[in-house]
Every structure is written in C-alpha cells, then in structure tokens.
Amino acid sequence: MPELSKDVVALLQYLLPGFLVAWVFYGLTSHQKPSQFERVVQALIFSLAVRVLVFVERLVLEFIGQWKTLSPWDSEADLACSLLSAIALGVLIAYTINTDRFHTILRNKGLSTRSSHPSEWCGTLSECARYVVLHLKDDRRLYGWPKVWPSDPEKGHFFITVPSWIDADGNDHPLATIEGLLINVADVKWVEFLNKPENT
C-alpha cells in the first residue's frame, strides 16, 4: 500500500472537523448522504466554519486568560476545541433542520417557500403528529399512532402502536393484545391523517 504524502495527511487533518460535522448532521437527520464529491465540498465548508469558531473561542479564552489562566493555547487545545466545536455545530445544524426553524423564518419573510425537510414525506410525518390510517395494497386499512416511520417513502417500515383494523363498514377492530405492528412501506398505497381532536 503506498504511503500518504504529508500534503494529503495535512488536508485530511484540515477536513476532519468538517467531516465530523457532516457525520453528526446525517446521523441526526433524515437527509440522505450526497455523493462523495459533494461530501468533500461540505467538509470544506464545515471545516471553514469550525476554524472560524475556534478562532473566536481562542480570542475569548485569551481575553479571559488575562485574569485566570487555565492552560496555554497549544496544538492539543486547538484540536480539542476543533472537535468539540464540530460536534456542537453538527448538533445545532441538525436541530435547526429537524425543527424547520431557519426555513420558517425565511418563509415568514417571503424569502423562500421551501422546507428544511428532505422531502414532503418527511416534513408531513414530522409535523403532523396525529393518528393515521394506512391504506394497504391489499385493500385493508390499519388505524394507529405512527411511532416510527421510514425516512424514504420507497423503503423502510412504519411502527404503528395502538393498532386497529378498520373493516369495509368503517368499524374498528382493536388489536388489544398487540403493542404495535411493523408495516413495510412498500405495502402502503397511501397514508390518511386524521383531524386533531378539539381538546389537543
């Protein structure tokens, strides 16, 4: 196996905080990982953001150090701040995306009509917390609470708790002894969201 050059190692060290931000972000959101090239571009952007954060943290700590010294700023302190800042930035971005905060502000200002969710599927299931009826391809209907749903409308499973089968006359048949059902999304034709009760 050929040895890595010093330039490649230095580039990887520079990009490591950016890759860590992306790793945390994709671990906490429903967004699909992009292509390898796009991931490297994201890592560059995130690494730049982390470097700016570390620069600001160093200025603040050096200012505080005029009165109370914790330890000198060296390569270990720089590395520790880079890693902690990368994790914090990844969590902050994931929180902002999952709660749709940033795009809500943009929509309210008329600057965008987009959502931060990766698709209408994820956005609707995230924001419409209510009971659903799954219409299956074999014409059966399942009522219940979607505790878990797939991030991809083509693959994955629903975990439906408090399940009931609904017959052709619209009568409920609760499955009282079952905690929940795991339903393959490939078996679902469409999802019906029920109105919220008046008292919620």
Together in a domain, 96 and 20: yes
Same domain? For 103 and 188 the reply is no
Residue 187's φ and ψ, nearest 5 degrees, are -90, 0
Cβ atoms < 10 Å from Cβ of 157:
16
Is there a single domain that holds both residue 10 and residue 85?
A: yes
pLDDT for residue 38 is more than 80: yes
Q: 150 by DSSP, 3-state: which?
A: coil
The proportion of the chain whose per-residue pLDDT surpasses 70, expressed as a percent, equals 94
pLDDT of residue 4 exceeding 70, the answer is no
Indicate whether 17 belongs to any domain. yes
* 98 and 134 within one domain: no
Whether 49 and 103 share a structural domain: yes
| Pair 95, 11 in one domain | yes
- For the segment 60-69, the average pLDDT, to the nearest whole number, is 82
Give the up-direction half-sphere exposure of residue 64: CA atoms within 13 A in the CB hemisphere: 12
Average pLDDT, the chain: 86
Within-domain flag for 18: yes
Read off the CATH number of the domain in which 178 is found. Answer: 2.30.30.100
Q: Do residue 134 and residue 87 come from a single domain?
A: no
Q: Report yes or no on 113 lying in a domain.
A: no
Rounded to whole angstroms, how far apart are CA atoms 161 and 173?
14
140 in a structural domain: yes
Enter the tokens of residue 88: 């914090």
**Length of the chain, please?**
200
- By residue range, what is the domain housing residue 161? 129-193
Q: Is the per-residue pLDDT at 5 higher than 80?
A: no
pTM for the predicted model, two decimal places: 0.71
Q: Last residue of a domain, which of 107, 138, 167? A: 107
pLDDT score recorded for residue 196: 66
Count structural domains, the chain.
Answer: 2
- Identify whether 153 is part of a domain: yes
**Whether residues 83 and 143 fall in one domain:** no
Higher pLDDT, 68 or 9: 68
Q: Of the candidates 72, 107, 142, which is a domain's last residue?
A: 107
Is residue 114 situated within a structural domain? no
Cβ-based neighbour number of residue 170 at 10 Å? 7
Q: Could you tell me if residue 116 is inside a domain?
A: no
Least confident of 6-10, 66-70, 149-153: 6-10
Indicate if 15 and 98 belong to the same structural domain: yes
- HSE (side-chain half, CA atoms, 13 Å) at 193: 9
